[in-house]
Each structure stands twice: as structure tokens, then as C-alpha cells.
Amino acid sequence: MKKKLMQMYMRRAEKVIGKRTPDEIAHDDEVVAGLEMGLPIEAALTNAAQKCPSEALSWDADSISDIGTHFEYLKELAHIMRKMQGNKPQ
């Protein structure tokens, strides 16, 4: 049942997030790692851009809220996935 639940959750998450390339995933993981360390979204994006420059995002005062919401969702998804896999959150 746990495996089926995880598969259902992942299908739903994929619909929300969309298909991502390995480079996009690496960038997103860097942003999430920054958020998990307590960085504000702007700093997390800047750090990720340094590590994954080909996927760096541009933002401004009008878009940063939506971008922050997206990455908060990814952060929560990562937390849920670790929990479902029996790993402790970071």
C-alpha cells in the first residue's frame, strides 16, 4: 500500500510540477536545499544559479512571490518523499 500511495502521490506531483530535465532537477534541488537551510528565496536562487548557471532563473519584485511559492511546494514535496521513504527530514 505504501508503494501504491507513493506512486499516486508522485503522479499528482508530476502533474503540478511538470516534466523536468536532469539539469532542471539539479537546479531545483539546490534551491530547495537553500530553503531548507533557512535562506530566503532570493539567496537560494542566487546560490543555485552559481551551481547550475544554465538553469538560473530571472526574477523581479512582481514574480518572486510566485517563484517562492513554487519552491516551497518543492520543499514540501521533498520532505514528504523522504518521510514516505523512511528517511529523516534534513
DSSP assignment letter at 78: H
Residue 48: CB atoms within 10 A of its CB come to 23
- What's the grid cell of residue 58? 530571472
Q: List all residues 6 or more positions away from 88 whose beta carbon is below 8 Å from its beta carbon.
A: 82
Give the per-residue pLDDT at 41. Answer: 98
3-class SS at 56?
Answer: coil
Give the per-residue pLDDT at 1. Answer: 64
Q: Where are the domains of the chain?
A: 44-90
**Apex CA 74: angle with CA 72 and CA 80, to 5°?**
105
The DSSP element (H or E) to which 15 belongs, if any, is helix 2-17
Give the per-residue pLDDT at 6. Answer: 74
Give the per-residue pLDDT at 88. Answer: 53
Per residue of the chain (90 residues), what is the pLDDT tens digit?
667 877 787 788 888 888 889 999 999 999 999 999 999 999 999 999 999 999 999 999 999 999 999 999 999 988 887 887 775 555
Give the per-residue pLDDT at 82. Answer: 83
